[in-house]
Amino acid sequence: MAGWFGNCLLERYGVGACVTIRRDPVQTATGSKYFLLDYPKSKRVVIRMDRRRFLAVGAVVPVVAGAVGISGDLFAFETYTSIAEAGDLYRLQGEYLGVVESLDGTWGAQVIATGEKTLEVHLLKGGLPGDGFKSKEPTRVCKVERLESALAKGKGSDLSVSLDGKTLTVTNAEGKKLGELTKVVRESKTLGLEAPKGALVLFDGTTADRFEGGKMVEQKYLGVGCKSKDTFGDHRLHLEFRTPFQPSDSGQGRGNSGVYIQGRYELQVLDSFGLRGENNECGGIYQIASPSLNMCYPPLSWQTYDIDFKSAKFGADGKKTSNARVTIRHNGVVIHDDLEFPRGTPGGVGDEAPQGGPLYLQDHSNPVVFRNIWVSKSE
């Protein structure tokens, strides 16, 4: 086993590219902010994996992993934790927004990296999730391949698209241009929200001392695999998280973690950008409820969870008399409204009980990080 992982190589190619903002953010009716981006031409840092031996055994990896009790997540490909490292592929993926008059108005697009040279373009009639688009299924899908470092083209059943990381051009089957969408970056309206007076700040970027197993990452973020020393009953929780960019991975192996409310109820963290939004994806309550809308931003974006939680109630005999309930906002948009927990979820650090419980941040072998975590009294 060790020999396989010994083929992982780290290649560094100079200074990472920086992203500059070209204009002031535009705020939509729902409170989301859009930033138009420009990328200077510069060298970058790239992390790659030498897959020669890995691919030779790729077909049997699931069998071997299961036989020795090792998670399939260990067989991950590239993992990028900064935009500077992610390179040209990251420049192409993301969200685009614009007007296509011949197709009845505003359209959004989510461009999802599915490999080193492949992407999927989801065209969304009405805009982006939470800002005009409300379906779980994309309106149209185009398969795209990279032709050059920052240029990609592809087509769907009746449309073709080309993109360069700044704009996405839509053409019809005859090659006539129908419209152009512009790359945008959305920012949650609760990003950077300050703790109210009287709140308990669990993590402010200076120390991880309020967490058992807490560890600092990049000298300012909180890593996974820790639980708060404090416990909570009814409470309001704010936290911010960032998933890594793993273009060649998929499903549960892509930016996986979990926020366990009271250590009992898992709110899934996952790079679910462009997915349907199921109970085991970002914003889902594992095995219990899917989010009403997939509000997941692209990987490496800072995202927010704002949680209003009411504990389960127990009688004097220790029997539960009412279930716990929760309202959750993902990136400022309500995805669970007064949801009832019929039970706890797997993988937590405690069963349902009359006493409060800790905040537990699950380690699922992916470098998810957190910041700006605080708890206040439930409103």
Domain ranges for the chain, please list them: 2-87, 94-187, 200-376
Q: Which of 256, 261, 275 is nearest to 336 (CA)?
A: 261
**Rounded-to-integer distance, Cα 123 and Cα 160, Å:** 11
**Rounded-to-integer distance, Cα 45 and Cα 13, Å:** 5
Beta strands 33-38 and 369-376: pairing type?
Answer: unpaired
- pLDDT(67) > 90: no
What is the pLDDT averaged over residues 265-282?
A: 97
pLDDT in the model for residue 4: 28
Q: What confidence category does residue 68 fall into, taking pLDDT thresholds of 50, 70 and 90?
A: very low
Which of the 8 DSSP states describes residue 69? T
Kindly list the distances between the CA atom of residue 238 and the CA atoms of 19, 22, 166, 369, 373, in Å, as whole numbers in the listed order: 27, 30, 32, 14, 6
**Rounded-to-integer distance, Cα 254 and Cα 366, Å:** 7
pLDDT in the model for residue 168: 97
Q: What is the pTM of this model?
A: 0.81
Using only the alpha carbons of the chain, give its radius of gyration. 22
Determine what percent of the chain falls in helix, strand and coil, rounding each to the nearest 5. 10, 45, 45
Query: Model confidence over 274-316: pLDDT tens digits?
Result: 999 999 999 999 999 999 999 999 999 999 999 999 999 999 9
DSSP 297-317: PPTTSEEEEEEEEE--EE-TT
Q: What confidence category does residue 77 fall into, taking pLDDT thresholds of 50, 70 and 90?
A: confident
pLDDT in the model for residue 150: 75
**Rounded-to-integer distance, Cα 209 and Cα 201, Å:** 11
DSSP, collapsed to helix, strand or coil, labels residue 106 as: strand
User: Which CATH architecture group holds 200-376?
Assistant: Sandwich (2.60)
For residue 131, the cross-strand partners are 128
Which amino acid is it at 153? K
State the chain's mean pLDDT as an integer.
83
Contact 88, 106 (CB under 8 A): no
- Which range among 61-65, 131-135, 178-182, 346-350 shows the weakest confidence by mean pLDDT? 61-65
**Rounded-to-integer distance, Cα 281 and Cα 283, Å:** 6
